[in-house]
A = this chain, B = another copy of it.
Amino acid sequence: MGTPTDLSPAARQAAGVCTADALAARYRSVRERSIELASPVSAEDAMVQSMPDASPTKWHLAHTTWFFETFVLATLPGYRVVDEAWQVLFNSYYQSVGPQHSRPMRGVLSRPSLAQVLDYRARVDARIADAFARDELDVALRQRIELGLHHEQQHQELLLTDILHAFSCNPLRPAYRDDLPVSHTAAGAQDWRRFDEAIVDIGIDRWPEQPAFAFDLESPRHRALVGAFAIATRPVTCGEYRDFIRDGGYRTSTLWLSEGWAAVQANDWQRPAYWRDDERAFGLGGVRAIDDSAPVSQLSYYEADAFARWADARLPTEFEWERAAQGVEVDGNFVESGRLQPAGDARDGLRQMFGDVWEWTSSSFLPYPGFRPWDGALGEYNGKFMVGQQVLRGGSCASPRDHLRASYRNFFPPHARWQFSGLRLAKDLA
Cβ of A258: which chain B residues have Cβ within 8 Å of it? Answer: 93, 384-385
Q: Do residues A366 and B369 form an inter-chain contact, with CB atoms below 8 A?
A: no
Say which one of A104-112, A205-213, A335-343, A398-406 lies at the interface with B.
Answer: A104-112
Partner of A227, one of B44, B46, B89, B222: B222
Say which one of A31-39, A153-161, A167-175 lies at the interface with B.
Answer: A167-175
Q: Do residues A111 and B172 form an inter-chain contact, with CB atoms below 8 A?
A: yes
Q: In A45-69, which residues have CB < 8 Å from any B CB?
A: 45-50
Q: Do residues A95 and B44 form an inter-chain contact, with CB atoms below 8 A?
A: no
A76 at interface by CB-CB < 8 Å: no
Q: Do residues B259 and A388 form an inter-chain contact, with CB atoms below 8 A?
A: yes
Say which one of A3-11, A231-239, A249-257, A348-356 lies at the interface with B.
Answer: A249-257
Cβ of A414: which chain B residues have Cβ within 8 Å of it? Answer: 387-388
Complex: how many Å from CA A42 to CA B108? 13
Cβ of A47: which chain B residues have Cβ within 8 Å of it? Answer: 44, 47-48, 110
- Given A85-B172, A258-B385, A362-B367, the answer on whether A166 and B108 have CB atoms closer than 8 Å is yes
A420 at interface by CB-CB < 8 Å: no
Max count, chain B CB within 10 A of own CB: residue among A110, A111, A384: A110
Q: Do residues B170 and A108 form an inter-chain contact, with CB atoms below 8 A?
A: yes
Q: Do residues A259 and B366 form an inter-chain contact, with CB atoms below 8 A?
A: no
Cβ of A390: which chain B residues have Cβ within 8 Å of it? Answer: 387
Partner of A362, one of B45, B109, B261, B366: B366
Complex: how many Å from CA A110 to CA B111? 16
Max count, chain B CB within 10 A of own CB: residue among A47, A105, A166: A47
Partner of A48, one of B107, B253, B362, B364: B107
Q: Do residues A254 and B45 form an inter-chain contact, with CB atoms below 8 A?
A: no
Partner of A172, one of B112, B166, B259: B112
Q: Do residues A387 and B257 form an inter-chain contact, with CB atoms below 8 A?
A: yes
* A-side interface residues, number (CB < 8 Å): 67
Task: Find the B residue at minimum CB distance from A429.
Answer: B370
A139 at interface by CB-CB < 8 Å: no
CB distance from A38 to the nearest CB of B (A): 13
A267 at interface by CB-CB < 8 Å: no
Cβ of A261: which chain B residues have Cβ within 8 Å of it? Answer: 95, 384
Max count, chain B CB within 10 A of own CB: residue among A227, A254, A362, A387: A387
Q: In A269-305, which residues have CB < 8 Å from any B CB?
A: 301-302, 305
Q: Mark A214-229, 1 if CB is under 8 A from B, else 0.
A: 0000000011110101
Q: In A386-412, which residues have CB < 8 Å from any B CB?
A: 386-388, 390
CB distance from A409 to the nearest CB of B (A): 14
Q: For the complex of A and B, list the 6 residue pairs with the smallest distance between their C-beta atoms, beginning with the closest.
A: A364-B364, A225-B225, A44-B110, A95-B253, A45-B110, A258-B384
Q: List 27 A-B contacts (CB under 8 A).
A: A43-B44, A44-B47, A44-B110, A46-B110, A47-B47, A49-B107, A50-B105, A85-B172, A93-B258, A95-B254, A108-B166, A108-B169, A110-B170, A222-B227, A223-B227, A224-B225, A227-B370, A254-B380, A256-B384, A258-B385, A259-B385, A259-B388, A305-B387, A317-B369, A362-B366, A364-B364, A370-B428
- Interface set of A (CB-CB < 8 Å, partner B): 42-50, 85, 88-89, 93, 95-96, 101, 105, 107-114, 166, 169-172, 174, 199, 222-225, 227, 229, 253-254, 256-261, 301-302, 305, 317, 362-364, 366-367, 369-370, 379-380, 384-388, 390, 414, 428
